[in-house]
Structure 1
Amino acid sequence: MIRAVVLDIGETITRDDRYWASWADWLDIPRHTVSALVGAVVSQSRDNADALRLIRPGIDIAAEYEAREAAGRGEHLNESDLYPDVRPALASLQALGIRVVIAGNQTVKAGQMLRGLDLPVDLIATSDEWGTAKPDPEFFARVLDAAGALAYETVYVGDHPANDIFPARQAGLRTAHLRRGPWGYLWADAPEVIEAADWRIDSLTGVATAIAP
């Protein structure tokens, strides 16, 4: 029986449109250029931040992040950044008596903003708050602590095979691969993803349907 569901954040709970558009505006280049470069590095299985490094070689991303915050052009997240299936899906899981956790590779500020949206979840945590990031096994050890359930009773839901599905599976969790966002669409039918994912879904509402007893 599944007792806990833990969900990734970027391109699972939230859309990345605003994030990449804000970087394009900050670097003063067309937004479609950033989108195209993100797609290019994703297709090469590279870190998505490499898109920014292609635009400005040698960029100190952490320093630029701080500069953006200081200029009032930093991270922002509100209801419009949520995918429309998020609230009904989370509520459906809680109605089943499932413990619901959101945990992904995000900043402390992102965690604060997500908690400010009053989502129907039991806990929200980010990699910066935990001091460990996916795909590190320590991150998934923290996931299990947050889930309060055994690994085989816990499902990790995410779009990114290398950051979500493979390491979660290695940690003994059940996995649901979400066909959403660049990573989710690109690798949806990859044999290794099909093998690693217990469920393959097109919407978060599919999670409750998949795990319902």
Structure 2
Amino acid sequence: MVRAVVFDIGETLVRDDRYWASWADWLGVPRHTMSALVGAVTALGLDNAEALRMIRPGIDLQAAYRDREDAGGGEYLDDTDLYPDVRDGLQALRNMGLRICVAGNQTAKAGDLLRGLRLPVDAIATSAEWGVAKPDAAFFDRVIKLAGAAPEETLYVGDHPVNDVVPARAAGLVTCLIRRGPWGLFWGDDPTVPADLRINGLADLPALLETAGRSPDALGEEK
């Protein structure tokens, strides 16, 4: 029985439009160019930071991040950055009596910004706050502690096979690939991705969990 659901952040709950647009503006390239390069590195199976290195070889990403923050062009989140189904979807899951958490590869500032949005969740954490990032197994050890349930009772929802589905499954969690964002859409129907569930949006989850009686075995039959 699934008792807790933990969500990734970027392209699962939060659209990355603002993030990549701000990088494009900072580096002085058209936003379309940035989007195309992110798509290219996605198709190649590379880390998305490679898109930035293609534009500016040798870039010190940490220094650039600090410079953007100092110049007032750093991270920012408000409700317009959320996918439209997020608040209602999270609330519907909470109404089922599930513990709902958020944990992804993000900065400490992103964690503060997310908490400021007052989402209907029980806890929010980021890799920077934990000092460990996906796909490291230690990240998913922290996910299990945050969820407060056994691994087989915890569903991890994310858009990235390598960062989300594969390591979460290795940690014993039930896994869900969400078909949105470049990674989720590119690999959404790839049979080699070992996801127990595949969804198009958060609104799909409550009915699937209810129909399956929140059973991991039954969830696997739904994919």
Supply the distance in 1 between the matched residues of 2:207 and 2:153 (Cα, whole angstroms). Answer: 16
- Mapped partners of 2:39, 2:136: distance in 1: 24
Question: Which whole-Å CA distance do the structure 2 matches of 1:199 and 1:64 have between them?
Answer: 37
Q: What is the alpha-carbon distance in structure 1 between the residues aligned to residue 13 and residue 190 of structure 2?
A: 23
CA distance in 1, matches of 2:16, 2:73: 16
Considering only aligned residues, what root-mean-square deviation do their CA atoms show, in Å? Answer: 0.6
Superposition deviation, residue 190 in structure 1: 1.1
CA contact (8 A) 1:24 1:34 kept: yes
Give the number of equivalent residue pairs: 211
Find the residue that maps to 2:100 and give its secondary structure.
strand
Asked if 1:107 corresponds to 2:79, the answer is no
Residues 1:58 and 2:58 are matched in the alignment: yes
Cα distance in 2 for residues equivalent to 1:65 and 1:204: 31
Cα distance between partner residues in 1 of 2:33 and 2:177:
28
Give the whole-Å Cα distance in 1 for the aligned partners of 2:202 and 2:112.
22
CA contact 1:199–1:210 (8 Å) conserved in 2 = no
Identity of aligned residues (%): 63
Gaps of 5+ in 2: 214-223
Question: Which residue of structure 2 aligns with residue 181 of structure 1?
Answer: 181
Whole-angstrom distance in 1 between the partners of 2:186 and 2:37: 15
The structural deviation recorded for 1:207 is: 1.5
Give TM-score, length-normalised by structure 1. 0.98
Question: Is 1:170 matched up with 2:160?
Answer: no
* Aligned position for 1:92: 92
Q: Which residue of 2 aligns with 1:29?
A: 29
Q: TM-score, normalised by structure 2?
A: 0.94
Which of 205, 209, 212 is matched with 1:211 structurally? 209
Equivalent position SS for 1:191: coil
How far residue 192 of structure 1 moved from its aligned partner, in angstroms, is 1.1
Match of 2:218 in 1: none
Structure 1 CA distance for aligned equivalents of residues 9 and 206 of structure 2? 18
Partner amino acid, structure 2, of 1:143 = V
Mapped to 2, the partners of 1:190 and 1:3 lie a distance apart of: 27
1:198 to partner: Cα distance: 1.0
For residue 175 of structure 1, give the secondary structure of its aligned residue in structure 2.
strand
Q: Is the 8 A contact 1:68 1:74 kept in 2?
A: yes
* Other structure's SS at 1:15 match: coil
Matched-pair contact (CA < 8 Å) for 1:159–1:183: yes
